[in-house]
Amino acid sequence: MNSALGRVVSAVMIDENDDYYFVQPARNGQTYRLLKAESPQFLHIGGQVRGFVYENEDHQLQMTCQHIPTVQVDHYDFGTVVGVRRDLGVFVDIGLPNKDIVVSLDDLPEPKQLWPQPGDRLMIALTVDDKNRIWGKLADDAIFNTISTAPSPRLQNRDTYATVYRLKINGTHVLTDGYQLGFIHPSERDQEPRLGQRVKTRVIGISSHNSLNLSLKPRAYQAIGEDAQMLLAMLGQDLHHRLPYTDKSDPQLIRSTFGISKGQFKRAVGHLLKRGLVKEEDGQLILLEKNDH
């Protein structure tokens, strides 16, 4: 196996043509082409250069000195998914000009609707098989535990973005943009996100394992519709957080005050009552203190 592939190595120039230097790493025996335009200096026979070596999409061994990826053998970082082949896996851009890295279908979720799509992100390192093919290897839980940071209680109820890195029966595991570990229970999502998908989440707690409990569902006031949001806004603006209207108020009075029908008003109040955001008392609609809007 070619042990230099997927790594940054030092090499010696052994030949050249108009466009390329041809270099060999010590004790490797393989020859790599290096674009002269990419070389950090003019090379003569025996001159040394250091760069990242790989096999390009035309199956040529190549060195690059200007496009050295952060994703390497034993070096993990995020790459962007740029293509999907159902019989092979997904293609990930790690910054090379003429090579995308395949993450095998064997390492992807069995349901293909949960496969990453172009634009999604995967944290991978490189691995080389016995046929000298370079593959992307997904980071495991140990890697994410190593790179993660402890969450702060100040994140409670904050919105944050996170990237899905593990799909399990018990829920979705993510890494936030702030590099905190997070978990989304199935009850806190309407549908399961894809591997590699970047999702907007809300912090609903901190677990005993020092990770964030997250939700993909909107806050109550965001899920209740425009009419209910209007009532909440008006309640919030009132000095005593009360309005002299209930579902028994006169329809014409409701329409002249809120610009909506009595039916729309009753539905909006019903949503607010059901979510425990308001109560009706003595002919008034009253905002409850636990409303978190």
Cα R_g (the chain), whole angstroms = 29
Domain ranges, ordered by start, for the chain: 8-64, 77-139, 149-215, 221-287
CATH architecture of 221-287: Orthogonal Bundle (1.10)
Half-sphere exposure of 161 (CA within 13 A, CB side): 6
- 192-209 confidence digits (pLDDT tens): 999 999 999 999 898 878
- Cβ atoms of 124 and 136 within 8 Å: the answer is yes
Q: Is 77-139's fold the same as 149-215's?
A: yes
CATH architecture of 149-215: Beta Barrel (2.40)
- 55-67 confidence digits (pLDDT tens): 999 999 999 999 9
292 has pLDDT over 70: no
Report the C-alpha gap between 54 and 256 in whole angstroms: 72
248 has pLDDT over 90: no
Report the C-alpha gap between 38 and 63 in whole angstroms: 9
- Confidence (pTM): 0.75
Q: What is the DSSP letter of 75?
A: B
Half-sphere exposure of 67 (CA within 13 A, CB side): 19
Instruction: Beginning with the edge strand found earlier in the chain, give each strand of the sheet holding 242-243 in spatial order.
Output: 242-243, 284-287, 278-281
Q: Residue 222: its pLDDT value, please?
A: 61
CATH number of 8-64: 2.40.50.330
Q: Residue 293: its pLDDT value, please?
A: 43
- Cβ atoms of 197 and 118 within 8 Å: the answer is no
Report the C-alpha gap between 225 and 140 in whole angstroms: 41
E-state strands within 129-230: 134-138, 159-168, 171-176, 181-184, 198-206, 212-215
- 59-102 confidence digits (pLDDT tens): 999 999 999 999 999 999 999 999 999 999 999 999 999 999 99
Greater confidence (218 vs 249) lies with: 249
CATH architecture of 77-139: Beta Barrel (2.40)
